[in-house]
């Protein structure tokens, strides 16, 4: 049995809301896709080849100064519930949650804000999380890890196409940078469709909370670069950063419009959301996300005093199904899960309200 | 802001294009944009890979594609048929084996096929455990190239940052 509680900060240091604009931009994530030369990509690789990849990476990781104090988990050794837990923290992909037991040789390495998935769709998926809006800081961390791995491992690289990946949508830099952004103002003023449409015109894309193929809940969007080839890393980051900054400005303007034109409605909406979270006895995940969105807006507009963004971030993660199950050490049925969620939210909010100002 | 085309409706689409290194911006209303064929739907750019994979399956693709569908990569045995079914290539060699197809696909996906940015430098074969970082020379020239592009695109914020990084290296 592997105890995920041993992970420093739970691999969730970004929750502390210490980063720039962290009230609107929850987190910044950057990932790089890399493959080892001379080994078939993961899906086509045999058991022995996957094991070889894992052994090679192990050796580099053990010596790596970047990885100092880090941990490694073999996905094969993780219980399904623990895999889900790591997935809810965005530390392993959906693909690895469903990885066939005992045959995958998939692993996840964690060291502070850095993570490294092995034998995912690509042999190596390096990623980093930062609190708030911090693209260049995040990439700087990641670049160091990439250098270390690249200096010790043969990496598949093509003079014209750049870094080669299992899916051509990732070739070139292999870089996908994304920010998790909260846009209730744009949703309430119905401007969001235009903003999202605009994104696709400038080479960006958006997704829901859990990345590719996931629904947008609670007005949380992941904005990221769509293309990975033909532009340098700095250009990709710079472009995304500029657009995100603009979206943040639009969001702030929309919030001011709401406050100016419909102050009572907004204030009521925000406090109703808070009241439900504080006192409800049964909460679905989706309802919780929507209410957290309302409360988060209230905190951003200084309507709700004495409630920290850190608490809201924590609620976002810990009210997910696998996290609730972990609190209880059993997998609750749907009804029980809703009750457990409501109880957890109540306890956290009561605690926060009782704290002296 | 009024639409540049009809001058009547409010401009909602701001189309910035870079042609021959000069930046032009057009402001269009949604209607004029649609008439001009400016793609605004979120669906357009979302699944280009799926479209490409689907088009591979059509017989209209010409003999070359039909042939390639049966050719296997010498390194991993993967074929274009496999790629069509899974959306994933078998290995790095596939990029060379199916180069014409992939160049076409990469251009459609990314608007370019030439990688710029970080380049991988193979570690010295029998070198010590502490391999050297990328040679400063290639780092410098890569940065200079990025700087040139940043200045061209009038992205002075980035240019300043790149210049600072160059100073450190030189």
Chain B residues 47-106 within an 8 A CB cutoff of chain A: 49, 75-76, 78, 86-92, 95-96, 102-103, 105-106
Q: How far apart, in whole angstroms, are the C-alpha atoms of residue A138 and residue A131?
A: 9
With vertex at residue A78, the alpha carbon angle to CA A72 and CA A79, rounded to the nearest 5 degrees, is 160
> pLDDT tens across B115-160, in order?
999 999 876 654 444 444 455 566 777 778 778 877 877 777 788 8
Task: Note the ipTM here.
Answer: 0.86
Neighbouring residues of B13: CB distance < 8 A, sequence distance ≥ 6:
A201, B26, B27, B28, B29, B30, B33, B38, B40
The rounded mean pLDDT for chain A is 92
Contact B24, B1 (CB under 8 A): no
Question: In this predicted model, what pLDDT tens digit does every residue of A238-273 receive, in sequence order?
Answer: 999 999 999 999 999 999 999 999 999 999 999 999
Condensed to tens digits (0 to 9), the pLDDT of residues A57-74 reads 999 998 888 888 889 999
HEC profile of B2-60: ECCCCCCCECCEEEEEEECCEEEEEEECHHHHHHCCCCCCHHHHHCHHHHHHHHHHCHH
**Cβ–Cβ below 8 Å for B117 and A37:** no
Mean pLDDT within A325-349: 84
User: What is the pLDDT, as a whole number, of residue B127?
Assistant: 41
pLDDT of residue B132: 43
Q: Please state, in angstroms and rounded to a whole number, the distance separating the CA atoms of residues A185 and A255.
A: 5
Chain A, 154 to 193: residues with Cβ < 8 Å from chain B are: 154-158, 160-164, 166-169, 171-173
- Helix, strand or coil for residue A350? helix
* Token pair listed for A303: 């309507």
Name the burial class of residue B1, with classes exposed (0-12), middle (13-18) and buried (19+) by CB atoms within 10 angstroms of its CB: exposed
Q: Which residues have a Cβ under 8 Å from the Cβ of B62 and sit 6 or more positions away?
A: none
| Minimal C-alpha gap between B41 and chain A (Å) | 7
**Residue A134 DSSP label:** -
Q: Is the pLDDT of residue B88 over 90?
A: yes
B58 pLDDT more than 60: no
Rounded Cα gap, residues A148 and A155, in angstroms: 12
Residues in chain B: 170
| Residue A154 contacts residue A37 (beta carbons within 8 Å) | yes
To 5 degrees, how large is the angle CA A302–CA A308–CA A310?
Answer: 135
Model confidence over A209-238: pLDDT tens digits?
776 667 778 999 999 999 999 999 999 999
Of residues A311 and A334, more confidently modeled: A311
Rounded CA separation A354/B2 (Å): 54
């Amino acid at each position: 049995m592997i105890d995920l509680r041993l992970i420093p900060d739970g691999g969730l240091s970004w929750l502390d809301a210490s980063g720039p604009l962290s009230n609107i931009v929850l987190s910044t994530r950057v990932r790089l896709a890399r493959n080892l030369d001379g080994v078939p990509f993961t899906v086509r690789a045999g058991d022995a080849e996957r094991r070889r990849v894992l052994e090679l990476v192990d050796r580099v990781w053990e010596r790596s100064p970047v990885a100092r104090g880090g941990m490694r988990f073999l996905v094969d050794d993780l219980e399904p519930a623990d895999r889900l837990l790591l997935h809810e923290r965005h530390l392993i992909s959906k693909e690895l949650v469903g990885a066939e037991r005992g045959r995958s040789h998939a692993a996840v390495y964690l060291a502070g804000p850095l993570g490294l998935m092995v034998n995912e769709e690509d042999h190596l998926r390096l990623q980093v999380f930062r609190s708030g809006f911090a693209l260049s800081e995040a990439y700087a961390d990641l670049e160091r890890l990439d250098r270390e791995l690249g200096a010790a491992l043969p990496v598949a690289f093509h003079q014209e196409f750049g870094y080669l990946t299992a899916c051509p949508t990732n070739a070139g830099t292999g870089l996908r940078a994304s920010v998790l952004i909260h846009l209730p103002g744009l949703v309430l003023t119905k401007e969001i469709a235009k903003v999202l449409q605009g994104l696709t015109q400038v080479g960006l894309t958006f997704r829901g909370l859990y990345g590719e193929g996931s629904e947008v809940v609670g007005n949380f969007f992941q904005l990221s670069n769509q293309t990975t080839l033909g532009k340098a890393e700095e250009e990709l980051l710079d472009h995304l950063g500029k657009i995100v900054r603009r979206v943040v400005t639009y969001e702030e303007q929309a919030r001011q419009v709401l406050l100016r034109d419909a102050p009572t409605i907004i204030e009521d909406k925000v406090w109703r959301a808070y009241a439900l979270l504080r006192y409800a006895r049964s909460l679905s995940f989706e309802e919780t996300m929507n209410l957290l969105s309302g409360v988060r807006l209230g905190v951003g507009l200084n309507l709700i005093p004495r409630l920290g963004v850190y608490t809201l971030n924590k609620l976002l993660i810990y009210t997910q199904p696998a996290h609730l199950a972990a609190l209880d050490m059993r997998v609750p049925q749907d009804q029980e899960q809703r009750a457990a969620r409501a109880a957890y939210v109540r306890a956290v909010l009561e605690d926060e309200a009782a704290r002296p100002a | 802001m009024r639409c540049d085309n009809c001058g009547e409706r409010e401009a909602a689409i701001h189309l910035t294009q870079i042609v021959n290194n000069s930046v032009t911006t057009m402001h269009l209303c949604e209607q004029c944009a649609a008439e001009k064929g400016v793609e605004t739907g979120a669906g357009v750019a979302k699944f280009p890979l799926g479209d490409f994979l689907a088009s591979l399956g059509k017989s209209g693709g010409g003999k070359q594609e039909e042939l390639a569908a049966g050719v296997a990569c010498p390194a991993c045995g993967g074929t274009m048929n496999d790629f069509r079914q899974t959306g994933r290539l078998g290995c790095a060699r596939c990029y060379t084996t199916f180069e014409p197809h992939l160049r076409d696909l990469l251009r459609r996906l990314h608007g370019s096929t030439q990688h710029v940015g970080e380049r991988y430098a193979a570690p010295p074969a029998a070198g010590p455990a502490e391999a050297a970082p990328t040679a400063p020379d290639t780092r410098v020239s890569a940065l200079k190239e990025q700087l040139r592009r940043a200045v061209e695109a009038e992205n002075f914020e980035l240019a300043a940052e790149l210049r600072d990084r160059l100073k450190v290296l030189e």
